[in-house]
């Protein structure tokens, strides 16, 4: 029986420790092909390259992690998935996994996430897809603690499939293996960023800005990803890419739009 074909991508770049860990984890489950950005693409959301050329390079020096093939791409995470599916892979993958991201993509962060946008792009193409993130922004974070959980979630997705139109947003708290309590399937917490711009002036007298801010949790529910993470659980949020607010259609239809 043929092994599952697993497409691995990310937004932190092809050399990121989180991706190298994910490649090793997935290599124990199937044949891995990596298509990932050649440089960091965090916060790119679902951007795609329309007004520039895309380049891809087959990598030969990264295979020690167990991948069958690896390609770097000059574009965004969504570009990587598009290029992989249309040009680089010999057949449709059985699953696409993105990450492991350096930092949280829980709650409102999913909107900006290149990690999740890569997974969503695969989901749009009908491929079961999961975005994995570890709530640790350091480059040398401990990804090994989450290995069995990451493999379990991916294995179950391969076995059972993921509902059509849905991708999984998985976030892992910054804890050692003994303190990870398990996995909770939950909803996305309501939250926002209170943003500020740190205005500075360069030596030439030109103003520039650094975006800063504070995360503001607006949700006290105990069924959310933020609650799960704060209480030692890995959160799994089924995320849909149909952005229609179906519950609002009836209300908007009461407007006098055709008079």
197 in a domain, yes or no? no
Question: Would the annotation count 101 as a binding residue?
Answer: yes
Mean pLDDT, rounded, for 32-57? 93
Residue 54 three-state SS:
coil
Mean pLDDT, rounded, for 142-148? 95
61 in a domain, yes or no? yes
**pLDDT of 210 strictly over 70:** yes
214 in a domain, yes or no? no
Question: Would the annotation count 11 as a binding residue?
Answer: yes
Do the strands 56-58 and 31-37 form a parallel or antiparallel pair, or are they unpaired? unpaired
64 pLDDT band, cuts 50/70/90, is: confident
The pLDDT assigned to 63 comes to: 67
71 pLDDT band, cuts 50/70/90, is: very high
The pLDDT assigned to 245 comes to: 94
Q: Which two tokens stand for residue 28?
A: 């124990």
Residue 123 three-state SS:
helix
**pLDDT of 151 strictly over 80:** yes
Domain limits for position 227: 5-189+222-243
Nearest to residue 13, comparing CAs of 42, 44, 40, 32?
A: 40
**182-196: per-residue pLDDT in tens?**
999 999 999 999 989
100 in a domain, yes or no? yes
**5-16: per-residue pLDDT in tens?**
999 999 999 999
**pLDDT of 169 strictly over 70:** yes
The pLDDT assigned to 149 comes to: 97
Q: Which two tokens stand for residue 221?
A: 């529910």
Looking up tokens 């990932």 gives 36
Dihedral (C-alpha) 19, 5, 27, 54: value to the nearest 10 degrees? -30
**pLDDT of 235 strictly over 70:** yes
Q: Which residue has the higher pLDDT, 258 or 123?
A: 123
CATH code where residue 104 lies: 3.40.1210.10
Q: How many domains does the chain have?
A: 1
The pLDDT assigned to 2 comes to: 82
Mean pLDDT, rounded, for 92-108? 97
125 in a domain, yes or no? yes
166 in a domain, yes or no? yes
The rounded mean pLDDT for the chain is: 95
Beta bridge partners of 32: 6
Enumerate residues 6+ apart whose C-beta is below 8 A from 16: 10, 40, 102, 139
75 in a domain, yes or no? yes
Do the strands 207-217 and 191-201 form a parallel or antiparallel pair, or are they unpaired? antiparallel
Cβ atoms within 10 Å of 103's Cβ, excluding its own: 20
> Which one-letter DSSP state was computed for residue 187?
B
Q: Cα angle at 190 between 18 and 186, to 5 degrees?
A: 60
255 in a domain, yes or no? no
259 pLDDT band, cuts 50/70/90, is: confident
């Amino acid at each position: 029986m043929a092994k599952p074909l697993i497409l691995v991508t990310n937004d932190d770049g092809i050399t990121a420790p989180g991706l190298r860990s994910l490649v090793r984890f997935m290599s124990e489950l199937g044949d891995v092909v990596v298509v990932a950005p050649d440089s960091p693409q965090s916060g790119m959301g679902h951007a795609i390259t329309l007004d520039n050329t895309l380049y891809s390079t087959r990598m030969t020096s990264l295979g020690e992690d167990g991948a069958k093939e690896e390609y770097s791409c000059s574009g965004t995470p969504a570009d990587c998935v598009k290029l992989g599916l249309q040009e680089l892979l010999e057949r449709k993958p059985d699953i696409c996994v993105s990450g492991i991201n350096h930092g949280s993509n829980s709650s409102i962060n999913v909107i900006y996430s290149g990690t999740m946008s890569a997974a969503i792009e695969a989901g749009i193409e009908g491929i079961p897809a999961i975005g994995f993130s570890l709530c640790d922004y350091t480059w040398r974070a401990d990804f090994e603690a989450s290995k069995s959980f990451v493999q379990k979630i991916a294995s179950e997705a391969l076995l059972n499939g993921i509902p059509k139109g849905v991708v999984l947003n998985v976030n892992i708290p910054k804890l050692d293996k003994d303190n990870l309590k398990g996995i909770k399937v939950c909803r996305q917490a309501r939250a926002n960023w209170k943003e500020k711009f740190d205005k500075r002036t360069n030596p030439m007298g030109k103003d520039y800005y650094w975006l800063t801010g504070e995360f503001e949790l607006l949700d006290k529910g105990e069924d959310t990803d933020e609650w799960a993470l704060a209480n030692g659980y890995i959160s799994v949020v089924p995320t849909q890419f149909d952005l229609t607010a179906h519950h609002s259609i009836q209300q908007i239809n009461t407007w006098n739009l055709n008079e």
